[in-house]
Amino acid sequence: MIVPGILLLAGSVFVGGRPGIGLAIPGGIVSMTGLVLAFQNATDTFQTWAYAWALVAPGGVGVGLVLYGLLAGERDSLRAGVPVLLTGLGLFLAFGFFFEGILGLSGARFLGFENAFAIGLIVLGVVVLGLGIVGRRRT
């Protein structure tokens, strides 16, 4: 699934314009699905679909828009993709904390999970604040 997703992303840059965005979004979703499945297969943690879906959609949509914006030089796609990607990451962290940290979905809590979650939220907050400051200066 990773290879077809990358091919869709490459095709989006080749096609360009609005049709390119139409290929970039499914390319991001398919690529993220493949990456999540590869991780789950390698670690035998398929129960993480309870919260990993947030990496696929909306996260994969954001990845597709961001990559298309970067590779095709489309700033509007880049600006539209960043908040979608951050939303996916935020949902993944929040639901991951709930299902793993509180419910123990995988059977045992991850060592240091609370610290990793806290650091992830801090990084996400700094990125959101940074984007807000950069966005205000341009307008």
**Considering its fold, how many domains does the chain have in total?**
1
User: What does the pLDDT look like over 10-31, one tens digit per residue?
Assistant: 999 999 888 999 999 999 999 9
Expressed as residue numbers, the domain containing 74 is 2-138
Tell whether omega for the bond before 26 is within 30 degrees of 0, i.e. cis. Answer: no
Residue among 78, 84, 98 nearest 54 (CA): 84
What single-letter DSSP state applies at residue 107?
S
pTM of the model: 0.75
Confidence at residue 136, expressed as pLDDT on a 0 to 100 scale:
64
What single-letter DSSP state applies at residue 48?
G
Instruction: Walk along the chain (139 residues) in steps of 10 and give the mean pLDDT of each run.
Output: 93 90 94 95 91 94 94 90 93 87 72 70 85 67
- Report yes or no: 55 and 31 within 8 Å, Cβ to Cβ: no
Confidence at residue 117, expressed as pLDDT on a 0 to 100 scale:
72
